[in-house]
Amino acid sequence: VIANRLHDVQDALRAGETTCVKLVEEALARAEASDLNAFVELFPESAMAQAQAVDAKLANGTAGLLAGMVMSIKDNLVYAGHQSSASSNILKDFTSPYSATAVQRLIDADAIIIGRSGCDEFAMGSSNETSAHGPVKNPVDPTKTPGGSSGGPASAVGAGIVQASLGTDTGGSIRQPAAFCGIYGTKPTYGRVSRYGAIAYASSFDQIGPFARSLDDLALVTQVISGADAHDSTCSELEVPDMRAGEAPERMTLGYYPEVVEHDALSPALRDAWAAYKTTLTDAGHELRPLAMPHLDALVPIYYILTTAEASSNLSRYDGMRYGHRAEGDLPLEDLYKQSRSEGFGTEVKRRIMLGTFVLSAGYFDAYYTKAQKARRVVRDQTLADLSQVDAIIGPTTPHVAFDLGKEYSDPTTLYLEDIFTVQAPIAGIPAMSFPAGTDDNGMPFGWQIMSNRFDEPKMFAIARALEALS
Ligand code: GLN
C-alpha cells in the first residue's frame, strides 16, 4: 500500500529508492487487482508518459510541488483527450477537448492521474448506487457503500490504490465518503477553486476538493488547485495562502450544535463517541461552546429545492443535439429530445430534473424557489454569526457509519436525510472538512467535521492538526 504522505514518497524518490514510473506501475497493478469498482477507466498511456516526464524533471531539479503524487479524478471532471461521463449513460463516450482548471493545475504541479473514478450519476446521491457504472465498494468492508457521490475517488484513496484524488462536493459528496472510508476530505470555500471543467450539478453549491490519506496531503492538494481563474467568474481573486502554514490557538473555542449531536438520526455509536470526544477536548483545555441551530430541519429542504432547481437548468443542455446520447431513428425534434433524455438519464437524475422544473415553474416559483433562497440567506447569516464567536464549528460528519449496499428505499427522501450535517457548509458557502475520528465496534470508520470561516482553510487545517495531535 501507498505511503500516507507525499513527503515520504518524495524522500524515497530523491533517495533513488523508487521512480514515478515504478509508482505508476504499482498503482495501476493495485487498481487492476482491486474489485472495489473504484475506477471507471484507467489511463495507463497518459499516466506512464507523465511519469516519465516527471522522472526527467526530478533528475534535472525542475519537478513541481506534487511530483510523485499518484491520483485519480472523479468521473465528473474533464481531462483533455480523456473520457468523462459523470457516470451517466447520457455522456457515455464523451471525450473532453479541454481539462478542468483543477485537473490542469494538478498536472502542472506534476501529479500523475492514473484514471477516473466512478460516482453517483451527475453527483446526485449518497451511496454511489445511482452510477451507470455500478456501485463502488467500501475498502474497509466491501458489503458497505463508500458513500457518495464521490464514492470512487474515496474508495481508491481509502484502499491505498492512489495517494489522493479529486472529488466534488455539492452537499457533502466529499466529506461523507471521506468519513465512510476513514480518510480526509475537504470542500473548500465556495469560490476558492475554479469550477471550470467540473460537470455542473448545482452551480452555486458545487466545489471541487481533494481526498487524501493525511492532513498534509489534503492541504497541499487544496493549495495547488486553488486560486483565481479567468474561466470562472465566481472564482475568488484572493491570493492563495500556504495551506499548511495556518495556526490554531493553543486554547481553542470550538462551537457545536446540541441539535446536531442530539439528533434522532445520530447512531448510538456516534453519540457515545462524540460524548467521549467532548471530554477529551475539554480535558485538553479547549472550550466547547454550544451554539443554537434553530433551522436544522430546514437545511435539507433548502438544499434540495435549490440544487434541483439549478440541476434542472444545468442538465437541459443534454438533449442529444448539443451534448449527449442521441436516440436512434427518424424522430421529430420534440420526440428526439424526449427519447434521448429518457434513455440517457437514470431514475434519480430524472426525479431531480422534475423536482427542479416544478419548483421553478411559474405557479410555484415564489412558494418554493424564492422562499428557499431567502431561507438560504438566513442560514448563511446565522452560520457566519456563529463562526464569528468561535475558532471553528465541529461535530459528526455523518449520522452513522457506512450502510449496506443494495438497501431498498421506498421513499427517496430517506437517503436525502443522510446529508443533514453536511449541507450547512455549502448553503453558507463556507469551507468544511472531515477527518478520521475512529471506528465503531465493527471496525467501520466515522469522521468529525470541521466548519470554518470563508477562505480560512489554513486555520481549518491547523485546527484539524491540533485535534489530531490529541488522540
Ligand atoms: N448526497 C447529496 C445529494 O445527493 C450530495 C451530493 C453532492 O454533494 N454532490 O445531492
| Residue 85 near ligand 1, beta carbon < 6 Å | no
Q: Positive or negative CA dihedral for 357, 361, 363, 364?
A: positive
Ligand 1 centre to CA of 457 (Å) is: 22
Q: Is the peptide bond before 72 cis (omega within 30 degrees of 0)?
A: no
**What local confidence, expressed as pLDDT, does residue 394 receive?**
98
pLDDT score at 413: 78
CB distance 170 to ligand 1 below 6 Å: yes
Residue nearest to atom 4 of ligand 1 (CA): 125
Phi, psi dihedrals of residue 432, rounded to the nearest 5°: -155, 155
Using CA positions, which residue lies closest to atom 10 of ligand 1?
124
| DSSP code for 133 | T
123: cell is 453527483
Q: What is the pLDDT of residue 2?
A: 87
Q: Determine if ligand 1 sits within 6 Å of the CB of residue 217.
A: no
Active site residues per annotation: 74, 149, 173
C-alpha to C-alpha distance for 310 and 204, rounded to whole angstroms: 8
Closest CA to 133 of 79, 186, 76, 78: 76
Q: Which atom of ligand 1 is nearest to the CA of 126?
A: 1
- 41 CB burial (10 A radius; 0-12, 13-18, 19+): middle
Q: What is the pLDDT of residue 418?
A: 86
Nearest to 408 by CA among 23, 116, 129: 129
Query: Which of 74, 124, 180, when mutated, tests ligand 1's pocket best, judged by the most ligand atoms within 8 Å of its CB?
Result: 124
Residue with the smallest CA separation from ligand 1 atom 5 is 171
67 within 8 A of 13, measured Cβ to Cβ: yes
Would you write out the chain's pLDDT as a tens digit for each of its 471 residues? 689 999 999 999 999 999 999 999 999 999 999 999 999 999 999 999 999 999 999 999 999 999 999 999 999 999 999 999 999 999 999 999 999 999 999 999 999 999 999 999 999 999 999 999 999 999 999 999 999 999 999 999 999 999 999 999 999 999 999 999 999 999 999 999 999 999 999 999 999 999 999 999 999 999 999 999 999 999 999 999 999 999 999 999 999 999 999 998 899 999 999 999 999 999 999 999 999 999 999 999 999 999 999 999 999 999 999 888 999 999 999 999 999 999 999 999 999 999 999 999 999 999 999 999 999 999 999 999 999 999 999 999 999 999 999 987 777 777 888 899 999 999 999 999 999 999 999 999 999 999 999 999 999 999 999 999 997
- For a pocket test of ligand 1, which of 77, 307, 351 has the largest count of ligand atoms closer than 8 A to its C-beta? 307
- Rounded to the nearest whole angstrom, what is the distance from the C-alpha of residue 87 to the centroid of ligand 1? 14
**Separation of 171 CA from ligand 1 center, angstroms?**
5
**Which cell goes with 192?**
476558492
Burial class from Cβ neighbours inside 10 Å (0-12, 13-18, 19+) for residue 241 reads middle
C-beta separation of 444 from 401 below 8 A:
yes
Distance of CA 121 from the midpoint of ligand 1 (Å): 10
Q: Is 64 in the pocket of ligand 1 (CB under 6 A)?
A: no
Atom of ligand 1 nearest to the CA of 303: 10
27: left (phi over 0), alpha (psi -120 to 50) or beta: alpha
> Is 171 near ligand 1, meaning CB less than 6 Å away?
yes
Give residue 288's pLDDT. Answer: 98
Nearest to 200 by CA among 349, 311, 124: 311
Cβ of 151 less than 6 Å from ligand 1: no
Q: Strand runs (DSSP E) across 65-170, as ranges?
A: 70-74, 112-117, 164-169
pLDDT at 163: 98
According to the model, what pLDDT value does residue 391 have? 98
In the three-class reduction of DSSP (H, G, I as helix; E, B as strand; rest coil), residue 230 is classed as coil
Please report the beta strands in 43-86, taking only residues with DSSP state E, as ranges in sequence order: 70-74
